[in-house]
Amino acid sequence: MNILIGDIGGTNTRLALFDTETGQLQPSSLTVYGSNNCSSLDEVVAHHISRLGGPCKYACFGVAGPIRDRRCKTTNLPWQVSAADIEHGLRIKKVWLINDLEAIAWGIPALADDALCTLQQGTPESQGNQCIIAAGTGLGEAGIIQQSDGHPLPFATEGGHADFAPRSALEFALFEFLAQHLGHVSWERLLSGSGLVNIYHFLLKHRQHSTTLELDFDHPAATISEAALAQSCPICVEALDLFINLYGAEAGNLALKQKATGGVFIGGGIAARILPKLQEGSFLQAFSNKGRMEPLLQSMPVKVILDDRVALLGPGRYAASRL
């Protein structure tokens, strides 16, 4: 049986078919749509089904936003998503909505070993909890509880919108800079594509630095990260270094709150693109720098997810488990 699956993000919406017999994606069915080019998920799904040339009986979508009563107002898109409306409008028997990070959590067990890059080996507990943090268009966080029957139970959070907590004079200045412009300063305002741009603009002002770097209007964060990796712009280098340090700190915060002795997974589009920088050590140093809890954090495996199909495999595995 094939299930229509989707990864619904603030930048892209990816739709594909999941084969419940093989537990894999149908290789020719994946299509990527620009989320901002569409008015609703219903529109995208209707177009995709028409391309497939036949009706779909079941569908499951991982959506970037909180799910309540089978509905979601997406955080970084002006969409109102309703499972019931999609069922009725497109004649689908059953539609499931799950949080996008919960979807990644469901997909992790389906990943091959080479789809993960180990930053810290650790000494994992076989029945220990796990957690996932993913910076991309926004910042997502989720957890996985290991149940007594041996089956993992992924769950969603909206931890990326919790208050940012500065740890140094520089970070206090960063907080004040963002508070003046945004009011509430959450971790997502720092750990996301727009967050890297926020850090860059703060450092330009804080260091009283002028630059000839011309940001790509559509992809400013990519411009900054590429210049940082090439070491062609000192402010970009500092911005990415601070981003990575903050990323490690918040990953450690999440790991403590979930007591993730089974492992910590780093997902999202940014991590894979800056993997060499994550491997340099500052990420793990910030991750474990938690005072008396440092030994606990150093015992936790930390792995970067390299295969972005995990966000599609998750909805497929979730729907299959419900069938």
DSSP assignment string, 9-22: -SSEEEEEEEETTT
DSSP assignment string, 197-234: HHHHHHHHHHTT--------SS-HHHHHHHHHHTT--H
CATH 3.40.367.20 at 112-306, yes or no: yes
The secondary structure of residue 149, as a DSSP letter, is: T
CATH class of residue range 2-106+309-322 = alpha beta
User: Domains of the chain: which residue ranges?
Assistant: 2-106+309-322, 112-306
Q: How far apart are CA 263 and CA 251, in angstroms?
A: 11
Work out whether the CA dihedral 246, 190, 239, 194 comes out positive or negative. positive
What would the two tokens of residue 316 be? 């497929």
| 112-306 and 2-106+309-322 share a CATH fold | no
What would the two tokens of residue 228 be? 């940082």
Q: How far apart are CA 142 and CA 150, in angstroms?
A: 19
Per-residue pLDDT of the chain (323 residues; tens, 9 = 90+): 889 999 998 889 999 999 998 888 887 789 999 998 889 999 999 999 888 877 789 999 999 999 999 999 998 889 999 999 999 999 999 999 999 999 999 999 999 999 999 999 999 998 999 999 999 999 999 999 988 887 889 999 999 999 999 999 999 999 999 999 999 999 999 999 999 999 999 999 999 987 778 888 888 999 999 999 999 999 999 999 999 999 999 999 999 999 999 999 999 999 999 999 999 999 999 999 999 999 999 999 999 999 999 999 999 999 999 98
Helix, strand, or coil (residue 113): helix
Answer yes or no: pTM beyond 0.75: yes
